[in-house]
Amino acid sequence: MAKKRPHTKAKQPTSKAGARAAGADGHVPVVGAREPCPCGSGRRYKACHGRAAAHAVTELVQRPFEGLPGECDWVALRELVPAATVELNLKESLPEGVPSVTLATVLPMAWPALRREDGSVLLGLQNDTASGDISRDLADTLQRALTAKPGTPVEGRRAPAEGPRLQDLLAPEGAFEPVVHSGFEFWVPDAENATADVTASLERANAAAIPTVKLAGVDAAYWCETPDKNHLRWVMPHPEEQLLDALARLHAAGRSNLGEGTRLVGSFRAHGLTVPVWDLPTSVTADDIEKPAAEFAERLATALATDAPLTAEERRARGGLTNRQVTLS
């Protein structure tokens, strides 16, 4: 009769081996859910460090751009503006060979980021993200773009749960100044050498772009032109409940419009901020709306400073505004 083999317990990696697998800095790479965890614990990734990663994927950060200069414009460029760019300043000096980093609403072929031939980096904002924290996903893409080979795009991936956020990488001081473009020609500074795929993507994007202008006199307000009517969409930083009360006061008093033929029609909710929307006649241009918008900002400031209970008419106005609110994110 064959001898029965003694049962032996699988040898677990030592903590030193685990540290080597995880990296000298303790960072644990993201791997497949059923693969051994790189930390060296001997458990599957999903039952070990993958727990935190899974939680990060499902946990939604309500205000991913909070704390960044120009939070309202970040939201506008993410959700409302077709073609725009912003020069970004990093806390640390740029790596050698990277002359600049530019945020763009959209990149050709919907790439998350692109390292151009001259070494400069373009970071796309309007891409799908793998986790509930857009800021962390964008920071991961940016870090990989800074070390990518010139002339190559950066593919999307799930960012490490413990990875940095944009707030960790970008300088907190300085202005966030979007430049709105009529089209996407900024993609290809050398159009003659663009690939056929990029050229086709450029043509499709230009055909779909809605003419948009950023107002100069107030923050984060964007005029746009559509076939039937024009609109003003204005991202505001105020707490939602306080802002809706103020808008209701103005609406009930007949002071919520931006001039003859204009109408406050509702609002969007996007990334933790509220975006009131006005319908404008097709004849009203961005220049035409500058003065009325500045005057409305003064009326709104007064209404925001009022803490008296809403009247019955103001409550009805608030209910109407709330019923017409649409959540974008």
The answer to whether residues 223 and 231 touch, using CB atoms and an 8 Å cutoff, is yes
Is pTM beyond 0.85 here? Answer: no
How does pLDDT run across 30-76, given as a tens digit for each residue? Answer: 666 677 888 888 887 767 877 665 554 557 899 999 999 999 999 99
Cα distance from N-terminal residue to C-terminal residue, the chain: 69
240 within domain boundaries: yes
Task: Looking at the structure, tell me whether residues 90 and 119 fall in a common domain.
Answer: yes
Task: Looking at the structure, tell me whether residues 182 and 298 fall in a common domain.
Answer: no
Range of the domain at 89: 71-208
Chosen domain end from 184, 208, 232? 208
17 within domain boundaries: no
How does pLDDT run across 275-302, given as a tens digit for each residue? Answer: 999 999 999 999 999 999 999 999 999 9
16 within domain boundaries: no
Give the chain's domain count.
Answer: 2
Place of tokens 């003065």: 291
Rg (CA), the chain: 25
The answer to whether residues 187 and 102 touch, using CB atoms and an 8 Å cutoff, is no
Q: What does pLDDT average to over the chain?
A: 88
Give me the average pLDDT of each 10-residue run along the chain (329 residues).
Answer: 40 39 58 77 76 61 96 98 97 96 95 96 93 95 97 92 95 94 88 79 91 98 95 98 98 97 96 98 97 98 97 97 89
How does pLDDT run across 7-38, given as a tens digit for each residue? Answer: 433 333 334 334 445 554 456 676 666 778 88
113 within domain boundaries: yes
